[in-house]
Each structure stands twice: as C-alpha cells, then as structure tokens.
C-alpha cells in the first residue's frame, strides 16, 4: 500500500495540482490546501485503481482530476470503517471520518470528466499527527 500521488489546490471545487511531497498539519490537513481547516474532511483519498477504472483511451484522467488529495495503490478505501486509523509515511497519522459525500452542485471535475467518482469512492480523514509525506511513502492500517 503506497501513496502514488499527492495533489493540492488553492480553491475548492477545482482540479488539484500534483506535488511530490506535502506537509500534513495536525487537525488541519495539507498545508496551503483549500480543503484544509478545522473540520472532519481535512484530507481526501481515492484509489488509483478507481481512477484507472473510469479513465478511457479517449479520455485520459490524471491524478488530482477528482480533487483528491492523495491517490494510493493497494487499498479499497470505501471498504474501511469510519474511525480506521492510517499511518502515512514516517510520521503522519490520520483517521477516516467519512466515506463518500453528497455533491450539492456539479463542479469543474464533473464538467470535465462527465462524472465524479469522489462521492461514491472517495474517503475523507482528519489529521491526528502531522508530518511530511511524499509520493512513494508506505501506508499502514493501524489496528
């Protein structure tokens, strides 16, 4: 289980830009990301397998297109329970707070891709312990 992409944006509802590494801030999220703040959806996850599943030859999707902060391999995020703790890299610890979400309006992601998998397959978490994460870092489920 690995981090394959980290993405951030300055504004909510927009496609995120991929970065090689990021700083997770305790009870806040990714430093300088639009979705960070004092709430239960500080960080969002989506599996690379889910992104690949909806990508087509004619329409190639990229990491960050669904406004996910972290894309991973080897984890079926939507099958994890609320409250599951997850270690990211050497220092960071997060807790799953929400699986899926309700979209109140169609965003830039929907208009670009024709659909959005984040409401069905995205998972949200709060940051319990901050730290630097980078693409390639291991992910460990904590019992």
Give the burial class of 42: count Cβ atoms within 10 A of its Cβ; 0-12 exposed, 13-18 middle, 19 or more buried.
buried
CA dihedral 16, 19, 24, 25 (to 10 degrees): -70
CA distance 17 to 5: 10
pLDDT score of 119 = 57
pLDDT by residue for the chain (143 residues), tens only, comes to 999 999 999 887 677 899 999 999 999 999 999 989 999 999 999 888 876 766 655 556 666 666 789 999 999 888 899 999 999 999 999 999 998 666 556 555 555 555 555 656 789 999 999 999 999 999 999 98
Tell me, what's the pLDDT at 42? Answer: 96
Domain span at residue 87? 2-142
Cβ atoms 99, 27 nearer than 8 A: no
> Residue 77: phi, psi to the nearest 5?
-55, -40
Number of domains in the chain: 1
CATH number at residue 133: 2.40.33.20
Whole-model pTM: value is: 0.82
The pLDDT value recorded for residue 122 is 80
Beta carbons of 94 and 126 less than 8 angstroms apart: yes
From CA 6, how far away is CA 18, in angstroms rounded? 6
């Amino acid at each position: 289980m690995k981090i394959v992409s980290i993405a951030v944006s300055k504004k909510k509802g927009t496609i995120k830009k991929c970065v090689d590494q990021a700083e997770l801030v305790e009870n806040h999220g990714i430093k300088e990301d639009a979705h960070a703040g004092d709430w239960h959806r500080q960080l969002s996850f989506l599996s690379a397998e889910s992104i690949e599943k909806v990508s087509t030859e004619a329409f190639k999707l990229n990491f960050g297109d669904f406004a996910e902060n972290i894309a991973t391999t080897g984890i079926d995020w939507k099958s994890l329970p609320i409250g599951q703790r997850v270690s990211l890299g050497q220092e960071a610890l997060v807790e799953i707070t929400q699986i899926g979400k309700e979209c109140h309006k169609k965003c830039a992601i929907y208009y670009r891709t024709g659909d959005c998998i984040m409401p069905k397959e995205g998972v949200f978490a709060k940051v319990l312990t901050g730290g630097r994460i980078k693409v390639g870092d291991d992910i460990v489920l904590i019992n």
